[in-house]
Amino acid sequence: MKNSMKRLFFILFVIFTIFVGGCLQSKQTPVASEPINLVKMTGQEMIQKMGTGEISGFIMWEPYPAIAVTKGLGKDLILSGKIWKDHPCCVVAYDQDWYKATNNSDEILKRMALVQLRSVEYINNAKQSDSKDHNELINFTMQFGGMTDPEAANLSLADVEFVYNTNIPDTTTFIQKIQDFGIFVPEKWNQSGYKNASDYANSLVTNKYVDWAINNKDANSSTISLKEPITVRYGYLINDIHELPFYVGWQKGYYKDLGINISIAEGAPFQNGAFEMQKGFKANTIDVGSLGIPPVIIHRINSNDFSNDDTRVGVIAGMNNEGSIIVVASNITSLKDLSGKTVGYPGPGTIQHVLFLMAADKEGLKVSY
């Protein structure tokens, strides 16, 4: 009897040890994090839903991050420059059909690049608070960005690097990233005939117009103006401070001084770069426009009918580097805290989409849609 009791206690002890050990082990084993739920929305919806707590964060171009921060609705978590330092962002692109149908398209594009250069130089000087043009720039920023708060306008300019140079090496990197994330439609990529990312980048981006602009930056506009003024249908993104150089050049008369009349393209401003490629360039409503480089890269392939190459564009100048931000609620301290939560983004194939995927991939995080 005594031996039987000992045997019973031993068996119970073993069972208890296995049970407790199993519980402890399950607590120590890391549980796979839930994916971050990306939901497409406009900038205004991001602001509204951050205010109501319906989303825990968003990634967007300026001025929406600045508006959220100045309204006390969120805080900056990651600036896009921390994801990829000096990454290219918006660019100036032209429609290939317009190019072929216009006799002096090269001369027009040279002067479009020169306007970009002059606008960028104005902005970079006027960003300084002691500049005589600072208040004028803030007014332009509020008008173009749909803002009424000068503080938000000032903040929205701070993290944007306005540029005019093209960037073929980083465009090549973007193309490779897009391939790595499986965003290209394989059949469309095969139809394109490009051998690799470098081959595609060099067919897409040209330096010749910026080179001409640099050589003529100090020329009197009257001496290099087009002999016959021409109207260009221009497309751009809604309230996108990245594209402020276009608005500055338009408002300050830089285009007109060079013989170019700007007509806002049908459908503009567009909600995002994918729409501008699909509903603007593909539909032949845009001659020249500004938008993010990833939508250009992606939809020149994915949205193209290669039987007539109807979404082919070329890039003639940079518009800005960096300038997008992941904004989060006050209780979020890291990207990992967004696991299982909803985050707004402007849509598939946008630069913000690609940057968020890069940031999540670095942290080993998954995303869902």
Comparing 11-20, 109-118, 186-195, 269-278, which segment has the lowest mean pLDDT?
A: 11-20
In sequence order, the β-bridge partners of residue 76 are 327
Band (pLDDT 50/70/90 cuts) for residue 32 is low
Stretch 140-165: mean pLDDT, rounded? 97
Stretch 137-159: mean pLDDT, rounded? 97
How far lies 215's CA from each of 113, 117, 206, 209, 323, in Å? 11, 11, 16, 10, 28
pLDDT value at 15 more than 60: no
* CA 244-246-249 angle, 5° bins: 110
Count of H helices and E strands in the chain? 18, 13
Helix (H) or strand (E) holding 288: strand 288-292
pLDDT value at 33 more than 90: no
Distance CA 180, CA 190 (A): 15
Around Cβ 65, how many Cβ atoms within 10 Å? 30
How far lies 363's CA from each of 17, 27, 357, in Å? 36, 22, 10
pLDDT value at 220 more than 80: yes
Band (pLDDT 50/70/90 cuts) for residue 217 is very high
pLDDT digits (tens, 9 = 90+) for 114-130: 999 999 999 999 999 99
245: left (phi over 0), alpha (psi -120 to 50) or beta: alpha
Distance CA 232, CA 229 (A): 10
pLDDT value at 94 more than 60: yes
The separation between CA 49 and the C-alpha centre of its own chain, rounded to angstroms, equals: 21
Stretch 28-43: mean pLDDT, rounded? 79
Distance CA 325, CA 58 (A): 8
How far lies 191's CA from each of 105, 158, 211, in Å? 27, 42, 32
Portion of the chain with pLDDT greater than 90, in percent: 91
Stretch 267-292: mean pLDDT, rounded? 97
Band (pLDDT 50/70/90 cuts) for residue 30 is very low
**Which pLDDT score is estimated for 20?**
43
Band (pLDDT 50/70/90 cuts) for residue 349 is confident
Please, what is the average pLDDT of the chain? 93
Distance CA 116, CA 110 (A): 10
Band (pLDDT 50/70/90 cuts) for residue 174 is very high
**Which pLDDT score is estimated for 119?**
98
For β-strands 230-235 and 260-264, DSSP reports them as: parallel
Sequence-distant (≥ 6) Cβ neighbours of residue 87 within 8 angstroms:
80, 81, 170, 174, 321, 322, 355
pLDDT digits (tens, 9 = 90+) for 251-266: 999 999 999 999 999 9
Distance CA 156, CA 179 (A): 31
Contact between 76 and 65 (Cβ < 8 Å):
yes
pLDDT value at 28 more than 80: no
Q: How far apart are the first and last CA of the chain?
A: 65
Band (pLDDT 50/70/90 cuts) for residue 7 is low
Stretch 80-106: mean pLDDT, rounded? 97
Comparing 2-11, 23-32, 332-341, 344-353, which segment has the lowest mean pLDDT?
A: 23-32
**Which pLDDT score is estimated for 165?**
97
pLDDT value at 300 more than 70: yes
Domain residue spans of the chain: 1-31, 36-86+323-368, 90-321
**Which pLDDT score is estimated for 152?**
97
Distance CA 267, CA 225 (A): 29
